[in-house]
Amino acid sequence: MKDQNDQGFLHRYFLENSSKRLHKWIHYFDIYERHFSRFRNASPVMLEIGVFGGGSLEMWREYFGAGARIVGVDINPECKKHEQDSIEVFIGNQDDPAIIQQILRKYPRIDIVLDDGSHINDQIITSFELLYERIHPKGVYMVEDTHTCYWDEYGGGLRRAGSFIEYAKNKIDEINAVHSRNALPISPFTRITDCIAVYDSVVVFEKRPQGARQAPVTEPL
């Protein structure tokens, strides 16, 4: 039996997988552990965009432990076959507001979103805008496989307007809007975002309600 308290649980699960199909870049596992470990054994609700072989749904259920609820969304109706205890799959496009609203009505509290869906840039952005403000105030929103932001066939390209990477770069300014001397408005995103972490092929947004900035000074008497 896999030890749920093992920090390398996800990587080990992947290597020992003998169940459904799993396809991940190896360096993702350290990123998952860094941002998701605080939710273990805390009964989180996770939304995974993109189901495909269904292996990751089972991996997340094992990782987060008893009480976790794993929700998938995919355009392929065959993905419904991956439903089981604590796992539910919705069928539809990730950027369809009707599907997102259907999910949110049933799961008003979502702690984690992992976008491993179409990897098409405008769909990634639309999903983010539909979901980010609605997830838990201390939740995590992770987008993986962002190397497609540099590929034409996914609507990307280096410094191409409309790519999710360029969108995320603008969010870096937005998180710092309070320091912009009114050049940028303080937005809901500014108020609810703690940090943005950028890795090779992964962007992570950590939420936390923001208060007034404080900069006390200490000095010798």
SS3 22: coil
- Kindly state the DSSP code that residue 145 receives in the 8-state scheme: -
- Of 119, 136, 147, 179, which one is the catalytic site residue? 119
**Residue matched to tokens 């590929």:** 151
Q: How many helices (H) does the chain have, and how many strands (E)?
A: 7, 7
Which DSSP string do the residues of 102-128 spell out, in sequence order?
HHHHH-S---EEEE-S---HHHHHHHH
User: In this structure, are residues 61 and 87 in contact, taking their beta carbons and an 8 Å threshold?
Assistant: yes
Instruction: Give the separation between CA 167 and CA 157, rounded to whole angstroms.
Output: 13
Q: Which amino acid does the sequence have at 89?
A: V
User: In this structure, are residues 46 and 89 in contact, taking their beta carbons and an 8 Å threshold?
Assistant: no
Instruction: Give the separation between CA 46 and CA 87, rounded to whole angstroms.
Output: 10
Q: How far is CA 72 from CA 7, 15, 110, 195, in A?
A: 24, 22, 12, 25
Encoded tokens for 184: 């940028």
Give the residue from 107, 112, 51, 103 showing the smallest Cα distance to 77: 51
Known catalytic membership, residue 23: no
Residues recognised as catalytic: 119
